[in-house]
Chain A
């Protein structure tokens, strides 16, 4: 079981991990609470079970805490429950029982209309990139801001920042079919980062990439993590997991079978 602060039900769990209480709008809170609160956990699953309507139990009594700023690998064979955990975290599915908290939101109590607000605090990256083929790199990244009603004057600087972060400023006007696999995944990461999220969920981000490019992507995710964003990465890539010596949560048949800092240990 990973360490983490105890649950603090009833408290508003908003704000960035560092310095948020001193920010404008947070000053009342800072005055009301004598000592700065530790940032909320990025992810907190408590006794979570998920059974699909066809009767398949995808998760069984899962407890998982990912503190803010952590970098966690989620490993396990296909069907172990990795995808189900990701769907629960972005509230694409709801837990059958137990409690799911993500960046301070209790997803069991969350109203449907508030789900978009949650997702703006989470960046998601997929194995198949999921870029819009008719849009350029710039437009793909800007799309995430446009569809959330971001004022136009804020879109351009945010997109340029995100593209600079992933090193794609030069390719801004290219379409996905003109990019390499690594560049496509970096575009997807820029899109995930453009909202300045507190948690990045990467679902097999290196699954379609050769080893060298995979390392580039991992390096990028590590850099993003060093900047304060929590990263949860689901992967089959034993070499990457073993080499990085980060926290590894292993799932098997819907249960957490291992949660420790270290390598991949066994082939799934």
Chain B
């Protein structure tokens, strides 16, 4: 308790005495944490969008006309037996035509029934929902090999792939940018604490000569780094709190019905990441500085 009180008091004194450098370190820390939080929000937004789209994606296998009911139901059983397949729905030619007419009617357009009075141009099809839409290739390949049954296979793999690739690219690019910014923050914290150490060189020397144990010498400076990190994280969270409403609104506007925004789990995630990164970088920078400066 005595030790903690002493360390906190010394750290706060140090922060005040070295305030210009510490403000610079804190501001840089805030910039990095805002960047980090933004990246988390964007990636989580894209992932939410991706999940939303993926949930709606199905593979459609259009069948040849004139197949016997028996072969159709056997084929459905085979499809249902596949590990990748979540469910299959059979849509007959008549149902397909009805769906088409309903869709046209919904859009307020003619159902074009005069074009096909005596025949139904729509094929029967299987709507296949996959457990993991990213794994549709194997199912598509199987369907395409069934040339006797399947006329055409319709999927949306390329669209999903593009989104997945975009997310990965953002992750990687963001990660690289963040790594550089984090390194800069680390160096600034190291420098800030080093200046604190140098400005208190005489105090440190006296402490050592009168028999202060290492923890009394080191911890005030490490706490100074922790306080810089904590301050940076709290300011960042405050900024995000102020900005969260406009960001949510903007996200809903862009994404429409895609469920984006600050839900509970994203908030917890951001608070954890920002606090963790701030405290981690602050204490790591201070630790490195203290280790290198006081190693004698």
Q: With A120-B210, A120-B211, A195-B211 in contact, is A152–B205 under 8 Å at CB?
A: no
| Chain A: number of interface residues, binned into ranges | 20 to 34
| B residues less than 8 Å from A151 (CB atoms) | 2
**Interface flags, B211-229, vs A, CB<8A=1, else 0:** 1111011000000000000
Q: How far is the CA of A132 from the CA of B2 in the complex (A)?
A: 21
Q: Would you call B211 and A113 a contact (CB within 8 A)?
A: no
Q: Would you call B203 and A90 a contact (CB within 8 A)?
A: no
Nearest B residue (CB) for A120:
B211
Interface size on B, residues (CB 8 A): 17
Main secondary structure of the interface of B (DSSP, over half): helix
| B residues less than 8 Å from A90 (CB atoms) | 209
- Within 8 Å of chain A (Cβ to Cβ): is B202? yes
| A residues less than 8 Å from B214 (CB atoms) | 113, 116
Q: Would you call B2 and A148 a contact (CB within 8 A)?
A: no
Q: Would you call B212 and A147 a contact (CB within 8 A)?
A: yes
Q: Would you call A113 and B202 a contact (CB within 8 A)?
A: no
Q: Would you call B212 and A148 a contact (CB within 8 A)?
A: yes
Partner of B216, one of A113, A148, A195: A148
| B residues less than 8 Å from A100 (CB atoms) | none
| B residues less than 8 Å from A152 (CB atoms) | 2
Q: With A130-B202, A132-B203 in contact, is A147–B209 under 8 Å at CB?
A: no
Q: Would you call A147 and B2 a contact (CB within 8 A)?
A: no
Question: A-B pairs with CB below 8 Å: how many?
Answer: 51
| B residues less than 8 Å from A147 (CB atoms) | 6, 207, 210, 212, 216-217
- Within 8 Å of chain B (Cβ to Cβ): is A144? yes
Q: Would you call B210 and A191 a contact (CB within 8 A)?
A: yes
- Within 8 Å of chain A (Cβ to Cβ): is B3? yes
The smallest beta-carbon distance between B158 and chain A, in angstroms, is 64
Q: With A147-B216, A149-B2, A152-B2 in contact, is A118–B206 under 8 Å at CB?
A: no
Q: Considering the complex, which residues of chain A in the window 164-210 have a beta carbon less than 8 Å from any beta carbon of chain B?
A: 191, 195
Q: How far is the CA of A143 from the CA of B3 in the complex (A)?
A: 13
The smallest beta-carbon distance between A160 and chain B, in angstroms, is 18
Q: Would you call A119 and B206 a contact (CB within 8 A)?
A: no
- Within 8 Å of chain B (Cβ to Cβ): is A1? no
| CB-based closest 7 A-B pairs | A120-B211, A119-B211, A147-B212, A144-B210, A116-B211, A116-B213, A147-B216
Interface residues of A (CB under 8 A from B): 90, 113, 116-120, 124, 130, 132, 143-144, 146-149, 151-152, 191, 195
Q: List 18 A-B contacts (CB under 8 A).
A: A116-B211, A116-B213, A117-B211, A119-B208, A119-B209, A119-B210, A120-B210, A132-B206, A144-B206, A144-B211, A146-B6, A147-B6, A148-B210, A149-B3, A149-B213, A149-B216, A152-B2, A195-B210
Other than the known A119-B211, A148-B213, what 20 A-B pairs have Cβ atoms closer than 8 Å?
A: A113-B213, A116-B208, A116-B211, A116-B212, A116-B213, A118-B211, A119-B210, A120-B210, A124-B209, A143-B207, A144-B210, A144-B211, A146-B6, A147-B6, A147-B207, A147-B210, A147-B217, A149-B2, A149-B213, A191-B210
